[in-house]
Structure formats: structure tokens, C-alpha cells
Homo-oligomer: A and B are copies of this chain.
Amino acid sequence: MQIGMVGLGRMGANMVRRLLKQGHDCVVFDVNPDNVAPLVKEGATGATSPDDLVAKLSPPRAVWLMLPAAITPKIARDFAARLQAGDAIIDGGNSNYRDAIDLAAEFAPRGIDFIDTGTSGGIWGLERGYSLMIGGPVAAVQRLDPIFASLAPGAGLGIAADPVTGTAPMGYLHCGPSGAGHFVKMVHNGIEYGVMAAYAEGLNILKAANAGTQHREADAETAPLAHPQYYQFDIDLPAVTEVWRHGSVIGSWLLDLTAQALKQDPNLDQYGGRVSDSGEGRWTLQAAVETGVPAPVLASALFERFSSRGEAEFAGKVLSAMRNAFGGHLEKAK
């Protein structure tokens, strides 16, 4: 099947490669021509502009966008203006599901389908396949099934669809009308933040298991450690994460990757600890708040990321100012 891919970063390029391997015809475009050339060598058809990409696709066209969320709506509109009834735009990025609802409604009168497709799998998707969460009109989603089936892990494996869960066991799922795909992917990422934070906090506690071996000042600004004898352990984090992978309740793919990373760099010295967030964790929290669902774990995980980037600093200053004001407590230097 023919498909156009716009945005050839880590994700988009590998998705093209996976599609090429499965025999699909890929027309590819990126604002940076350097990203186009390698894929052309691997069998894709290069496009030099949006117009060129659209021209090289035969109707009914399918244009897959794999772009940062902040620019996706604008680019989607740029392409929609070049497409015609029967064509489809698929947004595989980490976009806000609300944009999908709005864009689908905006394009529908012109007969252009907008398909929101949450795509998980990261840089491993080329090899493992991508988990796809799809929203949009049934007919359009079904028309694109060969693409979804090829990107998903189960593609070509001939797994019969389960009467309960349909294509889910093959790694892709039509979750509902426009927006449903990105909504499910959004919550997926919200969960991801929480799961990651659970491991990260736990490992941080393991690392502090030797706190009793360290000198602690005995002044009114320092909480005493009552029982230093209980904090005398030097825990081997690479070994611990490895053992957990084998038979423990918390085995997971993220743990597999963590164990691998710790094996290569036990203190993770190559990182500074400043953690980005790309939006989906925020929108998950927004959905929780608007619908009145408690999500303290997901919220805490998100806020840890904010704090890791220094965004709690002013709050800390307020606390220090208060402590000074009521108790004459001077802030301790590092």
C-alpha cells in the first residue's frame, strides 16, 4: 500500500523502514533534506516539498505526520489544503487528542479523514513493532489496515483476531471515533510517567541505603537519623535491577532497559537528571482533573519532572523566606 510520511526523525524514519521491509510504497518528506536521502537509498521515494509529496501519491492518499505536537495542527492544515475528498491524514505524533477532535471536524466537510494514531515503541519499534492506538471513522481506519498491521508487532504473524479484543493482540487497536486514539495514547504516556517514576524513586532509595555510614550534622536545621545501624548497605543497582527481571512481580520492558543502562553506567554519570516532558503527561492530568478522577501518582510523576528542571525554585525561596521570618532559620549552603 502507498503512504506518505512527513517528519523523518527517530520515529518517522524507522516507521518508514519497517513499512518498506513489509513491501509498502513510501513517499517521504522532511524539512531537513538530509533526513530524506538515507531513506531513499533504502527504497523510499523522496519528496522535496509538501506539494511534491502530495503529487507523488495516488488517490485516495494517506499522509502520515510524525512531528512535534506543537507544529502538528499547522502542518495538518497545510496538507489538508492540498488534499481532496477520500484522502486521509494520519497523525502519529504525541499530539493533544483535542486537536484531533477539532481537526477531524474541520476537515470532515471536505471529505478528508483525519486519523489520530498514538504510536508507542520508541526507537525499538523498527525491530519490535509499534503499539498503535487509533481513532477515527471506521471506513478510513479499515482502509489503512495494511499499514497499521505492518507497523504493529503482530503484523504478518497470522494471529486470528480475538472476538473480545479484535486486533489488539496483534498490537493495534481502533479505540473509537476521532480523538480516541490519542486519548488512549495520552493515558498510556501518563501511566508511563508513573511507572518510570516508581522505578526511579525506588532506585534512589536503594542508593541511599548507606546513609548511616555518612556523617550527619547535629544542628537544629538537620533532621537526625535515629537509627544509622539500619542504613549500612551498599546496594549493587545493576545486579538488583537484573535480578528483578527474572521472576519478580515488577518485571517489565522498562525494567529491562533500566537494567541495561545501569550495567553500562552504574552511577548514570552521563546524565544530569533534568527530565523533559513532551505534553502527554500534562494532558492526562488535565483529563483527570476535568473528569474528577484522582491521579496523585501520575501527578507526582509529572511534577518530579518539572522539579528536576528547577521549576520549584521559587517555591523553595518562599519556604526559606517563611522559615527565616518565623524562626530566624538561615538557609544552609549546599
Tell which of A22-30, A46-54, A325-333 binds the partner.
Answer: A325-333
- Chain B residues whose CB sits within 8 angstroms of the CB of A243 once the complex forms: 131-133, 165, 167-169, 171-173
- Chain B residues whose CB sits within 8 angstroms of the CB of A123 once the complex forms: 326-328
- Chain B residues whose CB sits within 8 angstroms of the CB of A323 once the complex forms: 196, 275-276
Tell me the residues in window 223-263 of chain A with beta carbons closer than 8 Å to chain B beta carbons.
Answer: 223-227, 229-236, 238-240, 242-255, 257-258, 260-263
CB within 8 A of A204: which of B208, B226, B314? B314
* B248 in contact with A318 (CB, 8 Å): no
Tell which of A34-42, A84-92, A175-183 binds the partner.
Answer: A175-183
Report A10 CB to chain B, min CB distance, Å. 5
Tell me the residues in window 110-152 of chain A with beta carbons closer than 8 Å to chain B beta carbons.
Answer: 120-125, 128-133, 152
* A191 in contact with B202 (CB, 8 Å): yes
- The answer for the CA separation of A197 and B295 in the assembled complex, in Å, is 9
- Chain B residues whose CB sits within 8 angstroms of the CB of A59 once the complex forms: none
Report A154 CB to chain B, min CB distance, Å. 6
- The answer for the CA separation of A98 and B222 in the assembled complex, in Å, is 18
- The answer for the CA separation of A71 and B128 in the assembled complex, in Å, is 47
A58 within 8 A of B: no
* A291 in contact with B247 (CB, 8 Å): no
Tell me the residues in window 252-284 of chain A with beta carbons closer than 8 Å to chain B beta carbons.
Answer: 252-255, 257-258, 260-263, 265, 268, 271-279, 282, 284
A106 within 8 A of B: no
- Chain B residues whose CB sits within 8 angstroms of the CB of A70 once the complex forms: 216, 218-219, 222, 224
* B319 in contact with A293 (CB, 8 Å): no
